[in-house]
Structure 1
Amino acid sequence: MKKMFSIIIIIILTTLSCGAPEDQEPQIKKEITDVPPHDMVFIPGGYFTMGSDTDDESPRHKVWVDPFFMDKFEVTNHQYKEFIEATGHPKPPFFNDSDLNKSDQPVVGVSYYDAASYAKWAGKRLPTEAEWERAARGGLKGKYFPWGDKPVASRCNYAPKGSKEADGYEYTAPVGKFPSNNYGLYDMAGNVWEWCQDFYDAEYYKISPVKNPLGPDSGYTRVLRGGSWLSINPKYLKCSSRLELKPFVQDRYYGFRCAKTP
């Protein structure tokens, strides 16, 4: 009886397999691919309008970004400590600063090179500038900030009107203390500026390719995005805001999060 039952099951599975549409297998593979690693979020591929009409954020231009994973949170002191202990990488400045070194606060004082080294160790990479902006927008079209068109102190950690405590935090906030955007990403505005992998060029948007732009081939500075806990002007919190910095600079306002290709 058991043998006959097994034969029936095999016949049923074979029949289902033969009758399945041609695109079923790729769809299954896609669903498996979409499952993000721990504490990462799947960012769907697609077109979006990148940039704004001001300064080095112009011109607005259409960009396609392939699907990717993005860290849900900025890399924390706890995570960075594990990296240091595993590799012997030097501690960043401020790592012993009691205002900035809680385990769930974002690591700061990291250079571009530090961030890239951590990402490689973690089996990830830094996001491109286009990926970062795609992720920050959270699927919202034409909005200035990850939540809408107006700066809101209760939505992120920054310093409105020079008051560092208006949002409840004088320095960096523990990651994830403010509402996420529509993709489930936290602190995409404020807390710390985040390193991207691109070289910086104020004119790059004028010649940027449409599909998966990687930034200039060379340069002296790298791009950071998102604003920080010390940003007084909310323009730095915009999804399109760009900051250039020499890649070896380490300061209290600069951190990062990682991306990963599925």
Structure 2
Amino acid sequence: MKRFWADYSSRDFAALDRGRLIAILPIGAIEQHGPHLPMSVDSCTVDGVVRRLAKALPEDSPVLFLPTQAVCKSDEHIDYPGTLTLSAETLVRVLTEIGASVARSGVRKFVLLNGHGGNIPVMDVVTRQLRVAHDMLAFSVNWFGFGMPEGVYSDVERTHGIHAGDMETSVMLALDPGNVTMAAARDFRSRGQDLFENFRHLGLGRGAKPGWKTQDFSTAGACGEAHLATAEKGDATLDHAVARLVEAMAEIDSLPADWLDRKPEW
């Protein structure tokens, strides 16, 4: 089975078991990633996950990958030259209209596979809208959302390495080492650590989460222990994520599309 939606002719696509298909839309970002990484990181990493996932899926898996939406919501990085962004409102419309096209093609299962943390709030809005407007089983999935392999990253990195730190730099060393400048990588300490040390409730991942721009946490545009990155860590991280994505796609496949066909009691 071909894995990429765009590789089919319309006639061949019409012959597929569209009621079982799972359409995955990879979404990323084109935004600054500190002095040592390219702006392509979030799109490069989600594309790398897609390539590895496509090879790892069972032959009979009904997954099809849509073309990657590379420019998404990156306004937290907008003060850094080169960053590209859509507004949240525009991205909601773009992703919802792509999902609507998928629904018109007879596919009810839709996955947003994400490589950028700034897209997460938008994804939740989009999947709800697709459920309401098109009765789709729509899922928000972050490739990095299945945890990290044990013993690979420090506790500080796991908590505060939110951007261009050890994890992202390691994954880029595994996927695109020619675009990583390790000589410019260092320990980019996040001011988020100060919030954790000085306050009980304030901080990312806590009860009182601030709205923020990147420079609020690091004027260097990176947070985390980038100087510790290795390609081996990156491969371990990708393997960990892909194994769990294979399981998640099998679970989505097993969930009947009529799971949504319920009416209110009154």
Do these two structures clear the TM 0.5 threshold for a shared fold by scoring above it?
Answer: no
Scaled to the shorter chain, the TM-score interval is under 0.3
Higher share in strand: 1
If you compute each CA radius of gyration, which structure gives the higher value, 1 or 2?
1
Higher share in helix: 2
